[in-house]
Chain A
């Protein structure tokens, strides 16, 4: 069965410093992995997706993530945090390859950006 664990419930960085949000996954097949961002009282926005192509995935707003099969990790990074990056971030794995398209969500990491 598939699962995803976000290792930090809360991360605090200063504006202009790097961001690292950690995610480990467990899967019995080659999964697709995603990162989503949610600002307060808004829906989830897709940041990036890994679907078995390049292991380093670039997303929107300067974010990127690297798929490491040997470590079963899919950490999200950004070189320089901006105040507007403060939000909730979800690491997500596809449940299976069937046509239901169901996803499994991590519990989320709250990113705080200090001026």
Chain B
């Protein structure tokens, strides 16, 4: 069966520090991969998605970037964190065709001080 791993579960970082969140999927190949951010008490905002290695689409301009160095690995990064980057970050995967559900990791709670 397929599983998705996301770490760390919680992270506290100072303003201006770098960020690297990692997400890996097991049990499937060539998945679509997604990064979302969820602000407190609000819905999900799609940040990036990827349909293949090295293929990244950004949904909103921001202080973050994403990379997909391997088929089942998706990384969310920042060179310098802002206070506004605080939130709950979720990684998800789906099979590589339309109209399919996405499957989510357990999320990373990022607090910027």
Q: Do A and B come from one complex?
A: yes
Contact (A32, B100) CB under 8 Å given A42-B107, A99-B32: yes
Q: Which residues of A are interface residues toward B (Cβ below 8 A)? A: 31-32, 34, 36, 41-46, 49, 51, 90, 94, 96-103, 105-108
Q: Is the CB of A101 within 8 A of B104?
A: no
Cβ–Cβ contact A99 & B51, under 8 A? yes
8 A Cβ contacts from B8-62 to A: 32, 34, 42-44, 46, 49, 51, 57
**Distance A51 CA – B99 CA, assembled complex (angstroms):** 7
Q: Which B residues lie at the A interface, using CB under 8 A?
A: 6, 32, 34, 42-44, 46, 49, 51, 57, 88, 90, 92, 94-107, 109
Rounded to whole Å, the gap between the CB of A30 and the closest CB of chain B is 9
Across the two chains, which residue of chain A brings its CB closest to B9?
A: A41
- Please, which residues of chain A bring their CB within 8 A of the CB of B90? 43-44
Q: Which of B44, B99, B107 contacts A94 (CB 8 A)?
A: B99
B103 smallest CB distance to A (angstroms): 7
Q: Is the CB–CB distance between B46 and A43 below 8 Å? A: no
Contact, CB under 8 Å: A102 / B99:
no
Residues of A contacting B43 in the complex (Cβ-Cβ under 8 angstroms): 90, 105-108
Please give the distance in Å from A107's CB to the nearest CB on chain B: 5
